[in-house]
Amino acid sequence: MTEITGYLRPDGKVGVRNHVLVLATVSCVNGVIQRISREVPEAVCVPHAFGCGRGGPRDLQILFRILSGMVRHPNVGAAVLIGLGCEVSNTRNLAPLIRDCGKSVEILNVQEWGSLQTSRKGAETARRFLAETQAQPRVPISWDRLMVAMECGGSDAMSGVTANTALGAVSDWLVEKGGTVIFGENTEMIGTDHILARRAKNAQVAGSIVQMVRRADQLAHDVMGNLAGLVISPGNMDGGMSTIAEKSMGCIFKGGSTTINQVVDYGEPPTEKGLVLQDGPGYDGDSMAGLAVSGAQVMFFSTGRGTPAGFPALPVIKVASNSRIYRAMADDMDLNAGTLVEGKSREVLRDEMIALLARVVNGEKTKAEANGMEVFTFMTVHPPF
């Protein structure tokens, strides 16, 4: 098998990219992030819609976990945090959560410097960090240091037949190699909790699985009422799905067939290796953030209707479920699992996916990376005040 390489982090993690992250702590400073992005396009500049205006304990937990988790992400080599000053997730509150990661982190607040000076200082720092990170060498790493996220979005009737079975084969292979596979999207587990629970490593994990799926089911009913039935929709049925269990099987199959070792909260890093489930939502952008912040260094993302979405600092490998979308969105798709119904064997496709995974780990850009298709958003539970 191909040798893979990565970057050793001071906290013992391994990255497959060495990005300089420029992160807003609150939406008020997005203009500064955009100015820095124009001046230093090589940096991963992340504006967003969050940082203040929500006060519930769950929203605060997620806010701090995601923002600090972006800085701590193993694919980030150094970071510039752009704060405002009076926001909830201000840099004074964030600093203790990132201090021990051992990376170069510079903090700038717009209420101390104004937007133009902050932009200039931020760009200067980003350039300095780029020079630093570019000098750091890749070193050989073993497959068991990898955590790969499995995601599906913009699904079609073939997603569960071709693309997710292919993702499942890669999942089983990586777990066999000692690595970690993580997937979430709890609404897409509804109807399969008993199947997932049977695969849990012990009764406690089985209990967490059942609890997670029941809660997702209940929440869908509480929020959507009768429309909750749309988790299996008329369109799904027209596509050949007869039951919610059948639809969900097509989703969870992307995690393969191995023992489920742990259930983690949204954005929480696992302490176990092997197959791990995340209690997170099905919406693509929110799901990607949770999986990335849990520590996944690479993501496979299957799609049948087609989506270009990637995620900051995270290589996202797009797997088309059919030849139509692979060709129509040729600039966005990395692999075509539609070939599975055109005579290609599952083994050959799986080996091609593993070979691409190795190249991506070693630095080859995915289409989403090359095209700059990053999306950054994350889950909230209450409206802003």
Q: Where on the chain is the footprint of other proteins (CB under 8 A)?
A: 157-158, 160-161, 165, 191-192, 195, 237-240, 242-246, 249-250, 253, 257, 322-328, 336, 338-343
Name the residue nearer to other proteins (CB basis): 2 or 257. 257
Name the residue nearer to other proteins (CB basis): 87 or 217. 217
Name the residue nearer to other proteins (CB basis): 161 or 299. 161
| Contact by Cβ (8 Å): 42, 20 | yes
**Closest Cα to residue 44, out of 135, 121, 126, 131?**
126
55, β-bridge pairs: none
In 187-219, which positions are buried (b, 16+ CB within 10 angstroms) versus exposed (e)? bbbbbbbeebbebbeeeebbebbbebbeebbee
| Contact by Cβ (8 Å): 309, 285 | yes
Q: Min. distance of Cβ 255 from other proteins in angstroms? A: 12
Q: Min. distance of Cβ 325 from other proteins in angstroms? A: 8
How many whole angstroms separate alpha carbon 107 and alpha carbon 61? 21
Length of the chain: 385
Q: Min. distance of Cβ 102 from other proteins in angstroms? A: 43
Name the residue nearer to other proteins (CB basis): 100 or 238. 238
Q: Min. distance of Cβ 185 from other proteins in angstroms? A: 16
Q: Min. distance of Cβ 240 from other proteins in angstroms? A: 4
The sheet that has 19-24: what strands, in order across it? 44-46, 19-24, 76-83, 104-109
Amino acid letter, 314: L
How many whole angstroms separate alpha carbon 291 and alpha carbon 279? 10
Q: CB count, 10 Å around CB of 66?
A: 23
Name the residue nearer to other proteins (CB basis): 153 or 256. 256
Name the residue nearer to other proteins (CB basis): 4 or 170. 170
Name the residue nearer to other proteins (CB basis): 161 or 293. 161
What does 9-77 look like in DSSP terms, one character per residue? -TTS-EES--EEEEEESSGGGHHHHHHHHHH-TTSEEE--S-SSS--SHHHHHHHHHHHHHHHH-TTEE
| Contact by Cβ (8 Å): 82, 110 | yes
Pair of tokens at residue 117: 């000076």
Q: Min. distance of Cβ 225 from other proteins in angstroms? A: 17
Name the residue nearer to other proteins (CB basis): 112 or 342. 342
Q: Min. distance of Cβ 150 from other proteins in angstroms? A: 15
Pair of tokens at residue 326: 């692979």
Q: Min. distance of Cβ 251 from other proteins in angstroms? A: 10
Element of type H or E holding 20: strand 19-24
Name the residue nearer to other proteins (CB basis): 2 or 243. 243
Q: Min. distance of Cβ 382 from other proteins in angstroms? A: 31
How many whole angstroms separate alpha carbon 158 and alpha carbon 250? 9
Quickly tell me which residue has 């067939």 as its tokens: 257
